[in-house]
C-alpha cells in the first residue's frame, strides 16, 4: 500500500510524483544489495590504540572488499572497469600489458560505486545522485559528479560551438572555443549543489541512504576563463546589471545572473578535474557560479545577453522560488546556505560491533569558507568540535573527522556547520519555523542518523 506522504503545499503534483519515485528506486537498490556486506571502511575496531587498529585490519580486510568482489565475479565488470582474471598469487604471474585498457585508464574491477538515476518517465529529463558515502577527501570523481538535465545530454562538436555575448555591451562579440582557450585561465575547486537536494526530507525521514538524501552535490576542480575577462573585452554599458545565460541543449535552459556575480568569481569553464568537461557536465563550455544554486550554472553555454533587469525566465519564476508561509515568494535565492552531513556512519550501514570509529562527513557553504563543524552523538544535547581536514576552501566541500567510541547503546549522530559569515546550520524545526513547508527547495537542516543497539543506522528526524 502506498503511504500518504509528501502532503505539504510545497509538493506539487510533479514534485510529489518525483519524491515517491525516489523512495521506490532507493528501496529497489537496497534490496539488490542486501546480501552484500556493508562497506564499513577502516577504523571500526575495538580499542583506541594504534596497535589495536592495525591488528583489527586483518580480521576485517576480507569483509571490506566483499561487495566489490561479488560484483566483479558475476561475469561483468562494474561501469568504468574491465574484467580481468584474478590470480591466486599476483607475484607469480606477469601483470597486464601497459596501455592494455586502450590508453584511457580504468578503475579496478573491485570498485563498484555508481550514480543512480531518479526514475522519471522521461530518461532525458532526470537527475543522478553522487554516492557520497564512498567518497574520500573532497574531490568528486568526474564520473560520479551528480547530474540534472531537462532535455537530455547534447552532443556538441567543440569546433562548431560558439559563445555569443551581446546586449548592453560596447561591442557584441562571438567567441569560438579556441578564442576562449587562448585567454588567461584560472583553476578553482568549488562545490555545486542542486537546490532540490534533500527535498524528500521536509515532512518526515524518507530516503534511507546519504546518496538519496544528499547526493545532489559534488565538488570538482574547474578550469576556464573568468567571465569578467570577456565582459571587459566587450565593455559593459552604464546601467548593465543582469546577464541572461543560455544553454545549447534541447531545453534551451536560461537563467538570469547579476553582473556583480559575473565580475566577482564566475568562470566560463571548459575543464573539470584536469581534463575537458564530461558531456553530462556541459561539454564543451559551462557557466560556473561558485556558491550559487546548481540550476544557474548553465551547461553547454552558448549565449550571454546583458541587460539592466532580470529576464524572469521559467526557472526563476514558476520554478526555483520559495513560497513562504505568508503567501509571498522568495525569488533569486541564489546562494546555497551552509550545510553538512555525516557520510559515515550513515543510513543503511551497520556497525559490526562496539568500539572505535571515525565519524566523517562533508560541510559546505555558498557564502564562503567553513570555519567550524560540530558533531553530536546524542541528538543535539551536546556537541564536540570536529577536525577540519585541509584544504579548507571557499565555497567548497570541506571534509571533517571526529574519533568516536560507540558503546553499543543507541545514539543519534548529527553534524552542525558554521561558516565564515557566522551563519549556523539550523535544525529542521528552526528552518520550518521561518520558511514553512510550502517549498521543497533549499533544505539545509541538520541531518540525523540513528544508530540502534545492533549497529543498524537509519534516517530519523530528531
Answer whether residue 53 shows pLDDT above 50: no
Digit-coded pLDDT (tens) for 312-322:
999 899 888 88
Does the domain at 339-460 match CATH 3.40.50.300? Answer given as no
Answer whether residue 65 shows pLDDT above 60: no
d(CA 16, CA 27): 17
The answer to whether 162-330 and 339-460 have equal CATH topology is no
d(CA 145, CA 292): 17
Answer whether residue 50 shows pLDDT above 50: no
Least confident segment among 20-24, 87-91, 141-145:
20-24
Backbone CA torsion sign across 106, 110, 115, 119: positive
What is the domain partition of the chain in residue ranges? 162-330, 339-460
Answer whether residue 41 shows pLDDT above 80: no
Least confident segment among 114-128, 194-208, 337-351, 423-437:
114-128
First to last CA, the chain: 26
Q: Which residue has the higher pLDDT, 123 or 362?
A: 362
Q: Which residue has the higher pLDDT, 315 or 235?
A: 235
pLDDT value, residue 284 = 98
**Structural contact between residues 40 and 352, judged by C-beta atoms closer than 8 angstroms:** yes
pLDDT value, residue 123 = 87
Digit-coded pLDDT (tens) for 270-281:
999 999 999 999
pLDDT value, residue 121 = 83
Answer whether residue 35 shows pLDDT above 60: no
CB crowding 9-35: b at 16 or more within 10 Å, else e? ebbeeebbebbbebbebbeebeeebee
pLDDT value, residue 58 = 31
Average pLDDT, the chain: 89
Q: Which residue has the higher pLDDT, 29 or 304?
A: 304
Digit-coded pLDDT (tens) for 416-451:
999 999 999 999 999 999 999 988 999 999 999 999
Answer whether residue 34 shows pLDDT above 70: no
pLDDT value, residue 71 = 52
Q: In sequence order, what are the beta bridge partners of 288?
A: 267
* Architecture of the CATH domain 162-330: Alpha-Beta Complex (3.90)
φ/ψ of 230, rounded to 5, equals -70, -30
- pLDDT level of residue 1 (50, 70, 90 thresholds): very low
Amino acid at each position: 500500500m502506498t503511504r500518504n506522504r509528501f502532503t505539504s503545499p510545497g509538493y506539487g503534483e510533479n514534485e510529489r510524483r518525483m519524491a515517491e519515485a525516489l523512495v521506490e528506486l532507493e528501496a529497489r537498490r537496497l534490496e539488490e544489495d542486501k546480501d552484500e556486506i556493508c562497506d564499513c571502511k577502516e577504523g571500526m575496531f575495538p580499542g583506541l590504540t594504534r596497535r589495536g587498529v592495525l591488528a583489527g585490519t586483518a580480521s576485517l580486510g576480507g569483509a571490506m572488499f566483499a561487495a566489490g568482489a561479488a560484483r566483479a565475479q558475476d561475469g561483468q565488470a562494474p561501469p568504468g572497469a574491465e574484467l580481468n582474471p584474478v590470480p591466486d598469487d599476483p607475484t607469480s604471474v606477469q601483470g597486464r600489458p601497459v596501455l592494455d585498457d586502450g590508453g584511457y585508464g580504468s578503475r579496478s574491477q573491485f570498485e563498484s560505486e555508481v550514480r543512480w538515476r531518479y526514475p522519471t518517465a522521461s530518461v532525458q529529463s532526470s537527475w543522478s545522485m553522487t554516492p557520497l558515502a564512498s567518497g574520500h577527501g573532497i574531490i568528486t570523481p568526474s564520473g560520479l559528479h551528480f547530474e540534472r538535465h531537462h532535455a537530455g545530454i547534447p552532443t556538441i562538436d567543440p569546433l562548431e560551438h560558439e559563445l555569443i555575448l551581446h546586449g548592453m555591451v560596447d561591442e557584441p562579440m562571438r567567441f569560438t572555443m579556441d578564442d576562449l582557450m587562448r585567454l588567461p585561465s584560472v583553476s578553482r575547486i568549488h562545490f555545486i549543489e542542486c537546490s532540490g537536494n534533500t527535498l524528500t526530507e521536509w515532512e518526515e525521514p524518507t530516503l534511507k541512504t546519504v546518496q538519496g538524501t544528499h547526493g545532489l552535490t559534488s565538488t570538482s576542480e574547474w578550469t576556464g576563463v573568468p567571465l569578467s575577462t570577456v565582459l571587459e573585452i566587450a565593455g559593459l554599458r552604464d546601467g548593465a546589471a543582469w546577464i541572461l545565460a543560455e544553454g545549447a541543449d534541447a531545453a534551451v535552459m536560461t537563467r538570469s545572473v547579476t553582473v556583480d556575480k559575473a565580475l566577482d568569481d564566475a568562470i566560463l569553464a571548459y575543464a573539470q578535474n584536469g581534463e575537458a568537461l564530461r558531456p553530462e557536465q556541459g561539454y564543451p563550455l559551462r557557466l560556473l557560479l561558485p556558491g550559487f544554486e546548481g540550476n544557474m550554472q548553465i551547461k553547454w553555454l552558448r549565449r550571454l545577453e546583458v541587460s539592466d533587469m532580470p529576464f524572469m525566465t521559467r526557472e526563476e519564476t514558476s520554478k526555483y522560488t520559495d513560497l513562504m508561509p505568508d503567501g509571498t515568494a522568495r525569488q533569486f535565492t541564489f546562494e546555497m546556505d551552509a550545510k553538512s552531513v555525516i557520510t559515515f556512519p550513515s543510513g543503511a550501514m551497520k556497525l559490526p560491533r562496539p568500539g572505535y570509529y571515525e565519524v566523517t562527513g562533508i560541510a559546505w557553504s555558498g557564502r564562503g569558507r567553513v570555519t567550524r563543524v560540530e558533531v553530536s552523538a546524542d541528538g543535539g544535547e551536546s556537541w564536540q568540535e570536529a577536525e577540519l581536514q585541509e584544504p579548507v576552501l571557499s565555497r567548497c566541500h570541506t571534509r571533517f573527522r571526529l574519533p568516536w567510541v560507540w558503546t553499543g547503546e543507541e545514539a543519534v549522530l548529527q553534524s552542525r556547520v558554521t561558516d565564515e559569515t557566522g551563519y549556523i546550520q539550523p535544525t529542521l524545526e528552526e528552518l520550518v519555523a521561518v520558511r514553512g513547508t510550502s517549498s521543497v527547495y533549499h533544505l539545509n537542516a541538520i541531518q540525523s542518523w540513528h544508530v540502534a543497539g545492533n549497529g543498524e543506522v537509519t534516517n530519523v528526524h530528531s
